[in-house]
């Protein structure tokens, strides 16, 4: 079990939608953490389990005071709210200015997120929605604690070029230099493409070849369907069989592929730490 951090370079590629979709179909217990320093979206787009709105003051904002006194992983649950569908969420900041309250605490949060998997009481994976990363955004301080960093990208040429360059920059920052294969560095760096389902396999192969050729240290992990209707259903803006949507079906495949490739290693690491996998 592990911390999986999702992020994007620029634009609006759908990081939050991807994070919620993957969390909804994750094969183990999971905590979705909105860690975008620019502010979260779920408080505006999702209802709480009781049918009313989420409390914007319970989540990343409330955890700041706790973290300054030290943070035991199980304390994360004190700041979690369930969504109407049952997904457990650490609600993000309301506005970017509130990020000042987390200054210096990002490594503490990263450690708590990554070691929640080792909790003897309520172990869980953490999927962190880090939003857009550029410049000196503090969310990258979570990455050294992650088992997997997923860069979300659309498939326009400029988006693919940006994700290639961002992956290479992250490899340098996190691994001390570009790598020829993602397996050589920890955290692993992966790319998830938001693509038209009909074109997804071909585009994924082309982008993966480009990432390998450029020695970025990243590879394509999978594709999530560019499905506006499914995204609206996921956000509660439309009714319909969400489980039959292209978005959820593709997210389920990505989640299953990730767990098939890395789950055994994560479980082994948990056992090495003396905890259940």
Q: Residue 193's beta-bridge partner residues? A: 153, 223
So what's the pLDDT on residue 271? 59
So what's the pLDDT on residue 235? 83
Q: Where are the domains of the chain?
A: 3-273
So what's the pLDDT on residue 135? 66
So what's the pLDDT on residue 181? 43
So what's the pLDDT on residue 107? 94
Q: Spell out the CATH class of 3-273.
A: alpha beta
Q: Which residues of the chain have pLDDT under 50?
A: 178-183
CA distance 103 to 31: 22
So what's the pLDDT on residue 269? 62
R_g of the chain, CA atoms, integer Å: 18
Sequential DSSP letters for 136-201: T-GGGGGGGG-SEEEEEE--SHHHHHHHHHHHHHHHHHHHSS--SSGGGSSSEEEEEEEE-TTTHH
pLDDT tens string 228-261:
999 988 888 888 888 899 999 999 999 999 988 8
* Global pTM value: 0.92
């Amino acid at each position: 079990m592990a911390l999986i951090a999702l992020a994007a370079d620029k634009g609006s590629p759908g990081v939050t939608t991807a994070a919620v979709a993957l969390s909804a179909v994750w094969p183990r217990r999971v905590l979705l953490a909105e860690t975008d320093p620019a502010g979260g979206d779920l408080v505006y787009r999702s209802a709480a389990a009781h049918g009313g709105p989420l409390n914007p003051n319970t989540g990343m904002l409330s955890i700041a005071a706790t973290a300054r006194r030290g943070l035991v992983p199980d304390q994360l649950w004190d700041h979690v709210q369930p969504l109407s569908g049952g997904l457990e969420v650490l609600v993000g900041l309301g506005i970017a200015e509130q990020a000042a309250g987390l200054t210096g605490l990002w490594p503490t949060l990263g450690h708590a997120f990554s070691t929640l998997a080792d909790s003897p009481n309520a172990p869980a994976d953490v999927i962190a929605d880090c939003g857009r990363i550029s410049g000196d955004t503090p969310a990258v301080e979570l990455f050294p604690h992650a088992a997997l960093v997923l860069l979300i990208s659309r498939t326009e040429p400029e988006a693919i070029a940006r994700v290639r360059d961002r992956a290479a920059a992250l490899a340098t920052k996190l691994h001390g230099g570009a790598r020829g294969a993602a397996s050589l560095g920890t955290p692993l760096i992966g790319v998830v493409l938001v693509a038209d389902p009909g074109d997804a396999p071909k585009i994924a192969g082309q982008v993966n070849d480009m990432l390998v050729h450029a020695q970025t240290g990243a590879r394509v992990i999978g594709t999530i369907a560019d499905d506006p209707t499914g995204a609206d259903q996921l956000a509660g803006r439309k009714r319909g069989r969400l489980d039959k949507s292209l978005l959820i079906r593709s997210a389920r495949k990505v989640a299953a592929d990730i767990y098939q490739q890395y789950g055994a290693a994560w479980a082994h690491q948990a056992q090495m730490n003396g905890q259940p996998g």
